């Protein structure tokens, strides 16, 4: 049987090597030597440790010594014939990151899956919950190809947008139940809701829970007046996206947002500008109503997936627009999609200025206060990026989300837990992924700098540091991402992405420029 597994691994490895020299493995045995472990369970760092993997399963996590003391090789796990080892002395090992809101590119953005997957894996993202992308069939096909190691890709958890494919939409509880059953039969992992009439939402969530599938909801403003986050949680929704619907559940002196009388939802500057004033209309932090809503959500084991980063340009447009990675890693088509537009979603820079940014900074303070306190009281908060919109680039935006969780008040170890074990629990996959434990899959991230000291070392561009010799250097950047038993060279993946971008620029004679500047 062991020889059969080795042979199987060999042929998968040959298939991967044939398409790219970016990946090694899988191997019958892989040992990561002398690493410092930052696990996803909140434990402090520990090392040196040897981690032994056999056929994509962790079989041993062994403490092999003490910091600064020479390791006795006789006490270390033995490398078997056909195995591979990585000398990870001085490196840090983390569980693979889970992006709970990852769109696999987009037609309007001109970003295809190969570009997106390489950026994700280059930033240590090994599992992605894909919320209603181009089509269910398209995403499920990529999921199967990823599982078979036919493509360079993270693990995909596919959610279908509620009502997708229904010719006339979903207009009754019976239609809702029928659609949910059909979605499950097609092989989907869950549903992303945007809101609907209360009786339809109740029926759909009830049927979905009977089938054991996951659920998420972006509580769109067109439905939220009748169905906010509390209604969803009571009906069995497992997680919410962003923050829409949460301030509305916290209203105590109104039932709808204080919309200006000339407001138009289809005007995205109206939509996002007024959204930046919404948290100030909710109950004050730690007030009786604020606490009551939080306690009910906690009792329902509800998950918050805030995606702070996707709104950050609202509070500081210049920062988001001039992020250093755009020059080398953002496709020309994606850059054009970000620019001011009345058509492209999230390109709401019709006349964005100081007043809008100040409102959004206050909005963030109140929003972060709720999320941090939810975590402090035992609530589950996960990490999602929602990249491909609003100047947020795949992979890079995920690391920015980690920084924003830190800004919200999370300890760096709590940030890592949000990115790993919390996501696994929300997906009901914590017996397989989310922490580095014997019996779990070998989803891992290796970085040569301590991310607890500086989360910026997880960016593909690394962090700037001044040496003792007064030399400016870049440190960090993920070194290896391990997923599906395959070792990916993160920096080589980024180089491949840069080549894609360079080629696109050359073909279009494109130069990245600012809007309105010739």
Same-domain status, 44 and 117: no
pLDDT score of 221 more than 70:
yes
Average pLDDT over residues 450-468: 95
- Residue 183's nearest CA partner among 165, 206, 157 is 165
Least confident of 10-24, 123-137, 146-160, 502-516: 10-24
* In a shared domain, residues 69 and 45: yes
**Are residues 67 and 116 located together in one domain of the fold?**
no
Residue 466 and residue 370 in one domain: no
**pLDDT score of 13:** 46
Tell me what pLDDT residue 95 has: 98
Q: What is the per-residue pLDDT for 6?
A: 41
Read off the CATH number of the domain in which 356 is found: 3.20.20.140
456 in the same domain as 378: no
> Measured between alpha carbons, how far is 8 from 10 in angstroms, rounded to an integer?
5
Asked if residue 411 lies in contact with residue 42, where contact means CB atoms within 8 angstroms, the answer is no
Would you say residue 509 has pLDDT above 90? no
Q: How confident is the model at residue 318 (pLDDT cuts 50, 70, 90)?
A: very high
Contact 97, 119 (CB under 8 A): no
Domain co-membership, 452 together with 375:
no
Flag whether 440 is in a domain: no
Q: What is the mean pLDDT of residues 171-189?
A: 96
Residues 138 and 74 in one domain: no
Average pLDDT, the chain: 93
Instruction: Provide CB contacts within 8 A for 182, sequence distance 6+.
Output: none
For residues 63 and 135, state if they share a domain: no
Please indicate, yes or no, if residue 392 is contained in any of the structural domains: yes
Token reading at 346? 């999230």
Question: What is the per-residue pLDDT for 290?
Answer: 97
Claim to verify: residue 470 and residue 484 sit in the same structural domain:
yes
Residues 407 and 450 in one domain: no
**C-alpha distances out from residue 270 to 121, 245, 251, 338, Å:** 36, 18, 21, 17
Averaged pLDDT for residues 262-273: 94
For residue 106, what pLDDT is reported?
Answer: 85
Check residue 16 and give its pLDDT. 45
The CB-side HSE value for 467 (13 A sphere, CA atoms) comes to: 6
Q: Cβ distance 248 to 229 under 8 Å?
A: yes
Enter the tokens of residue 49.
Answer: 């440790």
Q: Domain of residue 60: give its range.
A: 2-95+446-506
Is position 517 within any domain?
no
Q: What CATH number is associated with residue 9? A: 2.30.40.10
Number of independent structural domains in the chain: 2
Q: What is the predicted pLDDT for the residue at 12?
A: 45
Q: Cβ distance 436 to 37 under 8 Å?
A: yes
Classify residue 24: in a domain, yes or no: yes
Do 87 and 107 fall within a single domain? no
Does the structure show a pLDDT above 90 at 484? Answer: no
Kindly state the average pLDDT of the residues 396-416: 98
320 and 359 co-located in one domain? yes
pLDDT value, residue 75: 86
């Amino acid at each position: 049987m062991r020889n059969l597994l080795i042979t199987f691994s060999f042929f998968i490895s040959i298939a991967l090597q044939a398409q790219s020299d970016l990946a090694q493995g899988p191997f019958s045995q892989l040992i990561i030597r002398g690493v410092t472990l930052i696990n996803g369970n909140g434990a402090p760092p520990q090392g040196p440790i040897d981690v032994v993997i056999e056929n994509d399963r962790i079989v041993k996590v062994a403490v092999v010594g003490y910091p600064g003391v020479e390791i006795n090789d006789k006490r270390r796990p033995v490398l078997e014939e056909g195995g591979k080892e990585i000398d990870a002395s001085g490196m840090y090992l983390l569980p693979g990151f889970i992006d709970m809101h990852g769109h696999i590119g987009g037609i309007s953005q001109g970003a295809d899956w190969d570009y997106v997957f390489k950026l994700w894996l280059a930033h240590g993202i090994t599992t992605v919950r894909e919320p209603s992308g181009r089509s269910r069939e398209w995403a499920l096909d990529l999921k199967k190809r990823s599982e078979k190691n036919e493509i360079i890709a993270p693990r995909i958890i596919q959610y279908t947008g509620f009502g997708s494919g229904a010719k006339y939409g979903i207009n009754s509880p019976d239609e809702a139940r029928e659609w949910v059953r059909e979605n499950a039969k097609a092989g989907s992992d869950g549903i992303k809701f945007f809101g609907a009439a209360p009786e339809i939402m109740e029926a759909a969530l009830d049927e979905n829970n009977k089938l054991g599938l996951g659920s998420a909801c972006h509580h769109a403003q067109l439905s939220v007046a009748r169905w906010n986050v509390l209604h969803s949680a009571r009906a069995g929704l497992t997680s919410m996206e962003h923050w829409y619907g949460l301030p509305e559940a916290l209203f105590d002196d109104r039932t709808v947002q204080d919309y200006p009388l000339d407001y138009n939802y289809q005007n995205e500057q109206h939509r996002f500008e007024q959204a930046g004033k919404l948290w100030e209309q909710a109950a004050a932090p730690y007030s009786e109503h604020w606490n009551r809503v939080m306690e009910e959500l906690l009792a329902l084991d509800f998950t918050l997936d805030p995606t702070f980063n996707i709104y950050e340009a609202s509070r500081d447009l210049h920062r988001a627009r001039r992020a250093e990675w755009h020059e080398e890693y953002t496709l020309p088509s994606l850059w054009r999609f970000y620019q001011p537009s009345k058509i492209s979603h999230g390109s709401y820079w019709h006349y964005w200025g100081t007043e809008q940014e100040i409102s959004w900074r206050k909005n963030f303070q109140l929003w972060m206060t709720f999320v941090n306190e939810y975590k402090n009281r035992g609530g589950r908060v996960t990490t999602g990026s929602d990249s491909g919109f609003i100047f947020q680039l795949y992979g890079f935006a995920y690391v920015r989300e980690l920084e924003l969780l830190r800004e919200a008040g999370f300890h760096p170890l709590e940030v890592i837990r949000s990115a790993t074990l919390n996501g696994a629990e929300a997906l009901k996959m914590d017996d397989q992924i989310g922490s580095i434990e014997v019996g779990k899959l070998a989803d891992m991230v290796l970085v040569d700098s301590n991310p607890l000291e500086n989360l910026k070392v997880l960016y593909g561009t690394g962090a700037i540091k001044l040496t003792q010799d007064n030399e400016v250097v870049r440190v960090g950047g993920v070194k290896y991402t391990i997923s599906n038993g395959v070792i990916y060279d993160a920096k080589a993946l980024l180089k491949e992405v840069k080549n894609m971008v360079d080629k696109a620029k050359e073909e279009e004679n494109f130069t990245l420029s600012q809007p309105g500047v010739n």
